[in-house]
Amino acid sequence: MAIFKARFPSREEIWLTLSSILFLVNVWAIINILRAVPSWILSRTIWEMIGIISYPLAFALFESILFLIGLIIMAVVLPRKILRENFVAMGSLAALLATLGMILAHIYGEDFGIWLVRDFGKYLLLLFGLVLVSWVSVYYFKRLAKTIESIVSRLTTLSTVYLAVDILAVFVILIRNIK
């Protein structure tokens, strides 16, 4: 059991990686929300707009946690040298690459709705590929790892605000659907 537990990242590493993932996903969600808000101002009440805004924020929280769980599982399963040693830098870089890929797919109109249901293995393969690219980048460029960890440690305050807003969005959705 001690060997298995030693393969898990520490709580601090998990929190720092989650904060970087939350930052990336929430920034993109907020950009998309802000693009749509001007069209809602005259046709919706404040409570309706809060409800509509809550859905992408709650999904951003769910997506961030799901991505983090995938990274943790890979840290446990893969050899220690690959993901566990620089978990924060590699996980954050993998999240950045995944986010940039999904932003490009969103901008150019790719539809991943059917892909999610039928071919979940493609997502896992994509995550493994991103971790591999992150590992190569961090392994060969040690300064990159230090820079990423420094930036991520500075993002934790803002990510804490995003986490609180995302949790509040989940509560808004629960309240709206219980009523």
- Residues 136-175: tens digit of each pLDDT: 888 888 898 899 899 999 999 999 999 999 999 999 999 9
Let me know: does 27 contact 160? Beta carbons within 8 Å.
no
Q: What is the Rg, in whole angstroms, of the alpha carbon atoms belonging to the chain?
A: 18
Contacts of 97 (CB under 8 A, 6+ apart): 130, 133, 134
Give the number of other Cβ atoms within 10 Å of residue 38's Cβ. 8
Per-residue 3-state assignment (H helix, E strand, C coil) for 18-31:
HHHHHHHHHHHHHH
Q: Dump pLDDT digits (tens) for 60-113.
A: 999 999 999 988 888 888 777 777 778 888 888 888 888 887 777 777 666 555
pLDDT, residue 1, reads 59
Q: Dump pLDDT digits (tens) for 3-33.
A: 667 778 889 999 999 999 999 999 999 998 9
Ranges of each domain in the chain: 2-178
What global pTM score does this model have?
Answer: 0.84
* pLDDT beyond 60 at 115: no
The CA–CA distances, whole Å, from 143 to 50, 98, 137, 168 equal 42, 21, 10, 37
